[in-house]
């Protein structure tokens, strides 16, 4: 229990440090476009929702792929290990992503249905784990990110959602 408490304190400290604008800023490397023939079924199903004109999207959390590990009156901390399942969502709160495992390729779908792959080892600025990957303002989406092949590496992320 002490270890979990330390982890939460560490994550919150990192989050506030990053939120204050003191985190290093680096651009993510360009992603590779995925040919239509290589788009997996779960991604195709989500793209079909975009093409049908769907306008309402679920929030990132709660998610069947993430576990709530801490909550107080200001933040919620989620622990997620990416699977290969796509789920278009919207961010309803400001959020910080702290990567604690970062060794797998990621497939992303943007709001226009474009599918790209970000290769393992192409982290923001080549950051070591753990690292703060992103600060995302509420309203981003719809989009989806999933592991290309979780058996060959994935990404485990602690997400810190700000309630206010």
Domain with 156 in it: 2-23+30-162
**Separation between Cα atoms, residue 79 and residue 89, nearest integer Å:** 17
Handedness of CA 35, 37, 39, 44 (dihedral sign): positive
Higher local confidence (pLDDT), 9 or 103: 103
Question: Mean pLDDT, to the nearest integer, of 93-103?
Answer: 88
Q: Which residues contact 45 (CB under 8 A, 6 or more apart)?
A: 86
70: CB partners within 8 A, 6+ apart: 4, 8, 76, 77
Rounded to 5, what percent of the chain is helix, strand, coil? Answer: 25, 30, 45
pTM for the model stands at 0.77
C-alpha span between 74 and 8 (Å, rounded):
13
pLDDT at 6: 55
pLDDT of 21 over the 80 cut: no
Instruction: Decide if pLDDT at 23 tops 50.
Output: no
Mean of pLDDT values over 134-160: 91
Average pLDDT, the chain: 83
pLDDT digits 0-9 by tens, 129-146: 677 778 889 999 999 999
Consecutive H or E run containing 147: strand 144-147
- Distance, in Å, from the CA atom of 2 to the CA atom of 7, rounded to the nearest integer, reads 9
Write the pLDDT tens digit of every residue in 28-71.
556 789 999 999 999 999 999 999 999 999 999 999 889 999 99
How many distinct structural domains can be found in the chain?
Answer: 1
At residue 29, the pLDDT reads: 59
Q: What is the CATH number of the domain that holds 39?
A: 2.60.120.10
Q: Report yes or no: 155 and 84 within 8 Å, Cβ to Cβ.
A: no
pLDDT reported for residue 75: 96
pLDDT for position 22: 45
């Amino acid at each position: 229990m002490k270890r979990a408490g330390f982890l939460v304190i560490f994550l919150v400290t990192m989050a506030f440090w990053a939120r204050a604008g003191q985190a290093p800023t680096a651009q993510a490397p360009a992603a590779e476009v995925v040919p239509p023939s290589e788009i997996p079924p779960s991604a195709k199903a989500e793209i079909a929702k975009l093409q049908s004109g769907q306008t309402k999207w679920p929030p990132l959390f709660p998610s069947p792929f993430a576990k709530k590990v801490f909550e107080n009156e200001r933040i919620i901390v989620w622990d997620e290990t990416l699977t290969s399942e796509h789920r278009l969502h919207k961010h309803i709160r400001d959020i910080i992503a702290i990567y604690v495992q970062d060794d797998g390729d990621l497939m992303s779908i943007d709001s226009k249905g474009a599918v790209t792959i970000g290769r393992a080892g192409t982290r923001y600025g080549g950051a070591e784990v753990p690292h703060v990957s992103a600060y995302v303002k509420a309203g981003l989406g719809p989009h989806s990110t999933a592991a290309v092949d979780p058996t060959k590496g994935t990404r485990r992320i602690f997400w810190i959602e700000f309630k206010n």
